Amino acid sequence: MKPSDMKTNDELLAEQLRGDPEFRAEWERTALARAVAVAVVRYRAERDLSQRDLARLLDIKQPQVARLELGEVNPSMDTLMRLASGLGIEFTIDVRPARTKARNVTKRAQTDDLVGMLKTDDAELLVSAA
């Protein structure tokens, strides 16, 4: 098979989301977790920090950082507050009915600072981090 014949990651993901209702439900359930994981990994990479270094900054244990970065479990409000205060990251989380326009979110949060977005038939989730 030629590389040009191979499917992209996005194409494979779209197929899985269409064809596997259980996978889609889990993907939707963990959308916030994945977005926060992106923000944490980005912060750590930009500062060339190890997970242990980041854990010290946040006053948590390294395995907790590893779990956050996996993006499999939605963070609690306490965790989001710890990340915001310890790392100086501002999280904007917008949850609204599907097919409605964001009214309280800046254009920058919707574009430049966007770390995660999910649209379902019923609702939309936008997460930005700056």
In this predicted structure, what is the pLDDT of residue 60? 94
In this predicted structure, what is the pLDDT of residue 4? 72
Domain boundaries along the sequence of the chain: 9-129
Q: Give me the percent of the chain exceeding a pLDDT of 70.
A: 100
5-63 tens-digit pLDDT: 788 888 888 889 889 999 988 988 899 999 999 999 999 999 999 999 999 999 999 99
Average pLDDT over residues 77-105: 90
Q: What secondary structure, in 3-state letters, does 8-75 show?
A: CHHHHHHHHHHHCHHHHHHHHHCHHHHHHHHHHHHHHHHCCCCHHHHHHHHCCCHHHHHHHHHCCCCC
Q: Give me the architecture of the 9-129 domain, per CATH.
A: Orthogonal Bundle (1.10)
Tokens of 110: 């919707």
In this predicted structure, what is the pLDDT of residue 57? 94
Confidence (pTM): 0.79
**How many Cα atoms sit within 13 Å of 109 on the Cβ side?**
16
Rounded Cα–Cα distance for residues 44 and 123 (Å): 31
SS3 80: helix
